[in-house]
Amino acid sequence: MDGPERFPSSDQGSTAALNAGLAVAGVTALAVGGPLVGVSPNWITVAVVSGLVLLSVDAARFSGLGGHLLAEALPLGIGAARLRRIAIHEAGHVLVAADNNLPVTRVLVGSRACLGQGIRANGSTELEPPAHAKLPLEELRRWSRVLQAGMVAETLIYGGSRGGADDRALLGRLWGLSGHPVATAQQEQRRARREVEQWLRQHRSSLEAQAEGLLQSAP
């Protein structure tokens, strides 16, 4: 079936912003602090050009994930905090999938783990695809809950969601194939989100425990 097998998630939508922010911060630091410590303007120019080249290579070969790889490796708990947020997102998918009897085949947390498996994402939860492209209403409701669970989990813990663009796109395709009116799709998705939010609030401790388990098992 031409259905979903993998759900990349987490911070894909912020890749360009992250890399641009790192580049601006680096250039600013060099321009302001370089002369103060005796760094030659020529070296500053070389560093800036090299940084732009690296950003171009990162965008071409790694879909902009190089900045995320760097951020996830930062010390002082910064990288660990980013990975935990991704784990919370994926844990939301995992728990709600189990509650809706949708088997999970694999979970990946972090850009390095995803790239190691040939996936250009920050996190991924893979489920068995539906048996048919056009799903009955009850099946669509189940998928609506599972696909929105990562975003809801992030919002519950952090007050907002950075990831989920691919989840939203996939959910839109599933409803588009169903033939239901747009108004019905929107209403059902809002209903599913409310249900997931209520369920995850009741199971917050399980959500955090699942996220910790994913982090401990990550390569």
Q: Which DSSP category does 35 fall into? A: G
Report the sign of the C-alpha dihedral through residues 23, 29, 34, 37, in that order. Answer: negative
Domain ranges of the chain: 7-12+82-217, 14-72
pLDDT of residue 132: 85
* CA-based nearest residue to 8, from 152, 176, 127, 175: 127
Q: Residue-wise pLDDT tens for the chain (219 aa)? A: 333 444 444 444 444 444 445 455 555 555 555 555 555 666 555 544 554 444 444 444 555 567 778 888 888 999 999 999 999 999 999 999 999 999 999 999 999 999 999 998 999 999 999 888 899 999 999 999 999 999 999 999 999 999 899 999 999 999 999 999 999 999 999 999 999 999 999 999 999 999 999 999 987
The token duo for 164 is: 């989920």
CA-CA distance, 62 to 14, in Å (whole number)? 14
Classify domain 7-12+82-217 at the CATH class level: mainly alpha
Contacts for 108-114: CB closer than 8 Å, 24+ residues apart: 108/218, 109/83, 109/214, 109/215, 109/218, 110/72, 110/83, 110/86, 110/218, 111/65, 111/68, 111/69, 111/72, 112/69, 112/72, 112/219, 113/218, 113/219, 114/8, 114/65
Q: Which DSSP category does 168 fall into? A: H
Is residue 163 within 8 Å of residue 13, measured between CB atoms?
Answer: yes
The amino acid present at 99, given as its one-letter code, is D
Only one residue has tokens 């071409």, namely 60
The token duo for 126 is: 């893979």
Find the largest Cα–Cα distance for the chain.
Answer: 69
pLDDT of residue 133: 85
**Coil, strand or helix: which one is 13?**
helix
Is residue 116 within 8 Å of residue 65, measured between CB atoms?
Answer: no
Please write down the HEC assignment for all residues of 124-155: EEEECCCCCCCCCHHHHHHHHHHHHHHHHHHH
